[in-house]
């Protein structure tokens, strides 16, 4: 005779009895004996890749917000919490998942990540996509929480004030990455995909190549390549901008000489 056990799977009576005996014997593990999240996060911290020695396309974005922040990031090894490392890796998994789903839908998405160079900058694109109308395009996949997702999608539809303006300012860093890739690989457009982490909604936005912005970025890469250890760039702000430019800056204490305690 059979019955439904855990997970709704059909199991026979003997198996159920064995499960029950095992469950009865089980002793709860005191949390202090095995703190699983702590162990996982520590392992990720230990396995973290060393700081890049080249100028990366994504790190250049920090420099668009504040050149000094990029200067620090290129010269210091800031610790990153395991939780944050896991969060960053989440973006990579979402990228793979989306490419898989695009292929299931019959969309041609080619190859793995491709490397490109702009002066001393090295970047990688997520993939190339073949659009029936626009031909070969760069594919850039990003994830976002629901609030930022809504703000950015509305901003793409033409909002240019308040939160929309702020969303577009933040997006400039993604755009810089895309423009560098398009310029280096001679592509006319990028298919920018935004995935909402809260509900898996997808937004596709076609971003054209912007020659003027690309030229600006090439000039900035050139400047960054010539930075010396003793030429600290100016701060982007005159006063600590806790909720703007300086938010999440790992160099905050050093930059402001440890004189400000925001207690964030």
What CA–CA distance (Å, rounded) separates 246 from 152?
A: 21
Of the candidates 149, 150, 151, the one whose C-alpha atom is nearest the C-alpha of residue 162 is 151
Residues lying near ligand SF4 in the complex (CB under 6 A): 66, 68-69, 72, 235-237, 245-246, 249, 251-252, 255
CB atoms within 10 A of CB 121: 22
Report whether 153 contacts 195 (CB < 8 A): no
Tell the smallest beta-carbon distance from residue 202 to ligand SF4 (Å).
Answer: 32
Report, in Å, the least distance between residue 63 CB and ligand SF4: 10
d(CA 121, CA 108): 28
| Rg of the Cα atoms in the chain | 24
Q: How far is the CB of 152 from ligand SF4 (least distance, A)?
A: 22
Nearer to ligand SF4, 192 or 252 (CB): 252
Question: And the tokens for 201?
Answer: 């909604």
Instruction: Give whichever of 94 and 241 is closer to ligand SF4, judged by the CB atom.
Output: 241
Choice between 54 and 248, CB closer to ligand SF4: 248
Smallest gap from residue 62 Cβ to ligand SF4 (A): 8
Q: Which is nearer to ligand SF4, 65 or 142 (CB)?
A: 65
| Residue (194 or 251) nearer to ligand SF4, CB | 251
Give the nearest distance from C-beta 116 to ligand SF4 in angstroms.
27
Instruction: Calculate the alpha carbon distances from 223 to 110, 182, 193 in Å.
Output: 34, 21, 30
């Amino acid at each position: 005779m059979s019955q439904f056990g855990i997970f709704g799977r059909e199991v026979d009576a003997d198996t159920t009895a064995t499960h029950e005996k095992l469950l009865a014997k089980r002793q709860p593990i005191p949390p202090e004996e095995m703190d699983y999240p702590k162990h996982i996060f520590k392992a990720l911290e230990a396995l973290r890749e060393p700081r890049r020695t080249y100028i990366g396309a994504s790190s250049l974005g920090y420099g668009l917000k504040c050149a000094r922040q990029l200067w620090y990031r290129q010269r210091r090894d800031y610790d990153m919490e395991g939780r944050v490392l896991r969060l960053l890796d989440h973006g990579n998994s979402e990228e793979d998942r989306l490419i898989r789903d695009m292929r299931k839908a019959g969309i041609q998405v080619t190859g793995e990540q491709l490397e490109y160079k702009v002066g001393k900058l090295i970047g990688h694109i997520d993939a190339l996509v073949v659009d029936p109308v626009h031909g070969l395009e760069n594919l850039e996949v990003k994830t976002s929480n629901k609030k930022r997702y809504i703000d950015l999608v509305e901003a793409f539809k033409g909002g240019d004030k308040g939160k929309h303006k702020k969303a577009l300012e933040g997006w400039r860093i993604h755009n810089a990455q895309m423009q560098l890739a398009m310029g280096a690989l001679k592509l006319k457009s990028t298919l920018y995909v935004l995935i909402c982490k809260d509900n898996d909604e997808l937004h596709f936005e076609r971003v054209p190549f912007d020659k003027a912005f690309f030229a600006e970025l090439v000039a900035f890469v050139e400047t960054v390549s010539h930075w010396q250890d003793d030429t600290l760039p100016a701060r982007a702000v005159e006063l600590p901008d806790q909720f703007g430019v300086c938010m999440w800056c790992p160099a905050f204490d050093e930059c402001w000489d440890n004189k400000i305690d925001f207690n964030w």
